Amino acid sequence: MSSASLDRPADATPAAAPAAARRPIRIGLVAGGLGAYWPQFPDLLPQLRRSAARVAERMRAIGGPGTAVEVVDAGFISDAQEGADAAARLRAADCDLIVCFLTTYMTATMVTPIAQRADAPVLLINLQPSPSMDHDSFDTGQWLAYCGACPLPEMANTFLRCGIPFRSVSGHLEDERAWTRIERWVRAAGVRAALRRGRHGLMGHLYPGMLDVSTDLTLVTANLGGHVEVLEFDDLRVRLPEGDSAEVAAKVAEAREVFEVDASVVDDDFRWGARIAVGLDRLVADFGLDSLAYYHRGLEGELHERLGAGMILGASLLTARGVPAAGEYELRTSLAMLIMDRLGGGGSFTELQALDFDRGHVEMGHDGPAHLAISATRPLLRGLGVYHGKRGWGVSVEFDVTHGPVTTFGVIQRRDGRFALLASEGEVVDGPHLAIGNTTSRVDFGRDPGEWTDEWSATGVSHHWALGTGHRAAEIRAVADLMGLEFVQV
């Protein structure tokens, strides 16, 4: 499920502008079995080919709005040479994930070359035709169609001895539990691909004193792949339209459709935010950005201070389109928001705000940009004469995340330079909220909020992260596995 297909209440924000077209998740599929069986049991291979066709059909059905899946089918292999030929085809196809369907017994020499040469993570699946055999009527040939589990330990042993990460899913062809696990790996592969090919904007400078926010840019490429584009606020300044342009009027109209506009909003500030929103659209298009982190302090109301203060409207609209934008120069959080968005959970810029020990809730959110697609109701645009801890004034976004299961998710930078993915599952619940132009949600983690806060903080996460809808820890764990990263769950 993509951000475009998030389940939202009927009174939630209207859909923002559609996200830019994304490269489909490219799945390489190869099925196989031991060729020695075919002359012995003539009916076996046709049955296994039908099973392979069904797997390809279900793989293609995993895609949805904004998350297309393309299947590169390398066919059915019966020996090691055919496996090597399939490996060459799949490597040339530049796949994001290779799925090897073990239809019956097959040797490790048939699959290992694929895993070694394909330059993509490999998932082994063992899906027998039905939940169980008809033991009274089956002969040897019919049993062999259910024998995909037989080679799985052989594959695992070989992969581990060859230094190939091992993962598998076992079940039957129409086993929804198995397909849920398979879909999890497919979507994780899509996240890995988005990060490896991603272009991440970093505009402005570090919020003074925030040592936790500082990110070594080389480590982004080392851990996740992709490219960090270092930008100046002048790159935004030169892309601003005139205040009376049709583009600005259209952006104001779009904002009025998406937001409830509070009486505190000053028209000049609203139009300034709309001008910056148009400029941000141009910036993202010109630099091909998939995410953006920004901050600028400024002085005494000068232009760059006004640019930094006017970002919230446009950054929120960008985030709702699947181009997450995070304030305070928080690059790792904009990356966490990108991952959460691609998993279908939205992902809003978040930090701790307060603990409610009477109700057992952790209150979290942020001033600044938010993921409008996961708002519980129509988001509010509020005018602020002062931004706490920051210079400037303007319009800000206020809402509560959709009530129900949620996941907090952060990207940690360890002392040795390695990244880790951190998740914790809770539930957004009802309760009182401050009306101060911040996104604020009450999260119940089913435990003492002080204890949760201590354990969460002790992981080494920075003071920002992404808050997304749904329980996503298993999906995030799969992303970490495919990327060779540590996974931590609180």
Domains of the chain: 3-12+16-195 (3.40.50.10940), 214-489 (3.20.14)
> Does the pLDDT of residue 57 top 60, yes or no?
yes
Mean pLDDT over residues 385-404, rounded?
78
What mean pLDDT do residues 111-120 have?
A: 93
Query: For residue 33, is pLDDT > 70?
Result: yes
Q: How does the average pLDDT of the chain come out, rounded?
A: 91
β-bridge pairing 486-489 and 419-429? parallel
CA distances from 63 to 24, 27, 41, 70, 188 (A): 9, 11, 36, 8, 13
Bridge partners (DSSP) listed for residue 396: 382
CA 440, CA 459: separation in Å to the nearest integer?
A: 23
Q: What pLDDT is stored for residue 438 in this prediction?
A: 81
Confidence band (pLDDT; 50, 70, 90) for 366? Answer: confident
Please list the residues that pair with 30 across neighbouring strands: 100
| Contact yes or no for 336/410 (Cβ under 8 A) | yes
pLDDT beyond 80 at 476: yes
pLDDT tens track for 215-259: 999 999 999 999 999 999 999 999 999 988 999 999 999 999 999
* pLDDT score at 389: 57
Task: Identify which has the larger pLDDT, 271 or 3.
Answer: 271
C-alpha dihedral sign at 350, 351, 353, 356: positive
Mark 410-444 as b/e (b = at least 16 C-beta within 10 Å). Answer: bbbbeeeeebbbbbbbbebbeeebeeebbbbbbbb
**Segment 168-189 mean pLDDT:** 96
For the ranges 121-125, 345-349, 477-481, the lowest mean pLDDT is seen at: 345-349
Q: For residue 461, what pLDDT is reported? A: 95
More confident residue, 390 or 57: 57
The angle at the Cα of 377, spanning 340 to 374, to the nearest 5 degrees, equals 5
Q: How far apart are CA 96 and CA 256, in angstroms?
A: 40
User: What confidence score (pLDDT) does residue 66 get?
Assistant: 61
Q: Indicate the helix (H) or strand (E) that contains 407.
A: strand 404-413
Helices and strands per DSSP (H, E), number in the chain:
16, 19
Q: What is the mean pLDDT of residues 78-102?
A: 96
Give the integer Cα–Cα distance in Å for 42 and 55.
Answer: 22
pLDDT at 358 over 70: yes
> What confidence tens digit (pLDDT) does each residue in 132-170 have?
999 999 999 999 999 999 999 999 999 999 999 999 999
Find, among 223, 389, 393, the residue nearest to 300 by Cα. Answer: 393
Confidence (pTM):
0.91
**Stretch 256-282: mean pLDDT, rounded?**
94
How far apart, in whole angstroms, are the C-alpha atoms of residue 269 and residue 292? 22
| pLDDT at residue 425, rounded to an integer | 98
pLDDT exceeds cutoff 80 at 486: yes
